[in-house]
Chains A and B, each alone.
Chain A
Amino acid sequence: MFVLVEMTDTVRIPPWQFERKLNESIAEELNKKLANKVVYNVGLCICLYDITKLEDSYIFPGDGASHTKVHFRYVVFHPFLDEILIGQIKSCSQDGVHVSIGFFDDIVIPPESLQQPAKFDEAEQVWVWEYETEEGAHDLYMDIGEEIRFRVVDETFVDTSPTGPSSAEASTSNATEEVQKKEAPYTLVVTMCINFYSLVSVVVYSVSEIAPLSQGTDCFKLTMKQSQNERSGKGEKQSFSCGCSVF
């Protein structure tokens, strides 16, 4: 989930901070500059790991501050392709399920990547997985706040640096054109479908009772109940009986 990125930068220390230790001032400046920010094609920066090299500090004419070239390593959130992560469903909309990990929210599951068949329930604004078994369809709702596992399929970096002033024709009728679309600088596209296994919930059943079905046959009736704390559907406990032969 996290990687170490080696970077280089020139850090400016203003004169009123000269009394502090250089390492501390530089660490603080770097964190101030990079923490919680997305660097293009690198990822979401978390915090400074260490400073590997400090070059000589220079003071330039006209500016009383010192400038130091620093080589450092930074902890960055950048999941690799096909990595499995656990997150919580933040919201559902027509264009997919939005998942969040707390410190990073721009994770989206497009409708194609949900287990088929899945449909969007307009009334409750949630995606529903219609799980077919011989007994009938179970609707597994993807409720808000539910913890799910997902696999990273794709990532998109958008350069959100400010663009220059547009040409002269934009000076007229500016009021309507001022709508700036806030694009997320770093988005993850993920999926929940892998092989035949659902990543939403792993339901484990344990046998609580075995009783012979009828005289003279080898058939037994097994009563099973959910043994682990995994959710299936809207949090109801499902228990069912099925018959099978014991070999």
Chain B
Amino acid sequence: MEVKDANAALLSNFEVYQLLTDLKQQRKESGKTKQSSGQQNLNTIMYETLKYISKTPCRYQSPEIVREFLVAMKDHKLTKAEKLQLLNHRPVTAVEIQLMVEESEERLTEEQIESLLQTVTTILPGDPEEQHRDSAMATEDKDKALL
């Protein structure tokens, strides 16, 4: 076996998630005609990886959302690795941005970090339950403040 290129392309968690769900679908449809002894490794790794990725925000993404996100990111002048990390993790606080973007204090001003956060949270969908909970809490706090 020969490795031609150990780094041909970077994959986002969403792409791997899509690939694995399609593969799972295919294998379910084709039925249990395969010998399970050889397939056990594939089953294990697929199950575990799917379990891990399902807990990340990538579950709610789609190809259009990813494209929209990348177009919006063009003005911020981030490296490919940084954009990939933002896509995979969906940071909601400035601390997280500072971790993922190298030398963010020098490269981005506070307003830029704010606008970056805004772009990330508006374009990339988060956990709908959590967003529901947060918006419910926000209206609750608003009501309390009005009293």
Q: Do A and B bind each other?
A: yes
| Chain A 131-148 interface mask (CB, 8 Å, partner B; 1/0) | 000000000000000000
In the complex the two chains form, is A32's CB within 8 Å of B41's CB?
yes
Min CB distance A226 to B, Å, is: 13
Given contacts A36-B42, A49-B19, contact A84 B3 (CB under 8 A): no
Contact-residue bracket for chain A: 35 or more
A195 to B38, CA, bound (A): 47
The closest CB in chain B to the CB of A204 belongs to B93
Q: Contact: A2 with B11, CB < 8 Å?
A: yes
Q: A32-B41, A102-B49 are known contacts. Are A1 and B3 too (CB-CB below 8 A)?
A: no
**Interface band, chain B:** 35 or more
Whether A86 pairs with B2 at a CB distance below 8 angstroms is no
Q: In the bound complex, what is the Cα–Cα distance between A86 and B44 (angstroms)? A: 20
CB of A98 closer than 8 Å to a CB of B: no
Q: Mark B1-17, 1 if CB is under 8 A from A, else 0.
A: 11111111111110110
A54 to chain B: closest CB distance in Å?
A: 15
Measured CB to CB, the nearest residue on chain A to B49 is A103
Q: Is the CB of B41 within 8 A of A199?
A: no
Q: Once the chains bind, are A5 and B6 in contact (CB under 8 Å)?
A: yes
Asked whether B16 lies within 8 Å of A7 as measured between CB atoms, the reply is no
| CB within 8 Å of A: which B1-53 residues | 1-13, 15-16, 19-20, 23, 34, 38-39, 41-42, 44-46, 48-49, 51-52
Given A4-B9, A47-B20, A103-B52: A197 and B2 interface contact (C-beta under 8 Å): no
Closest 9 CB pairs of A and B: A103-B48, A36-B45, A35-B42, A36-B41, A4-B9, A32-B38, A102-B52, A2-B11, A6-B4
28 sample A-B contacts, Cβ–Cβ < 8 Å, listed by A number: A1-B11, A3-B8, A3-B9, A3-B10, A4-B8, A5-B8, A7-B1, A8-B4, A28-B34, A31-B41, A31-B42, A32-B39, A36-B41, A37-B41, A46-B16, A46-B46, A46-B49, A47-B46, A77-B49, A80-B10, A80-B81, A84-B99, A103-B45, A103-B49, A149-B99, A195-B98, A197-B98, A202-B96
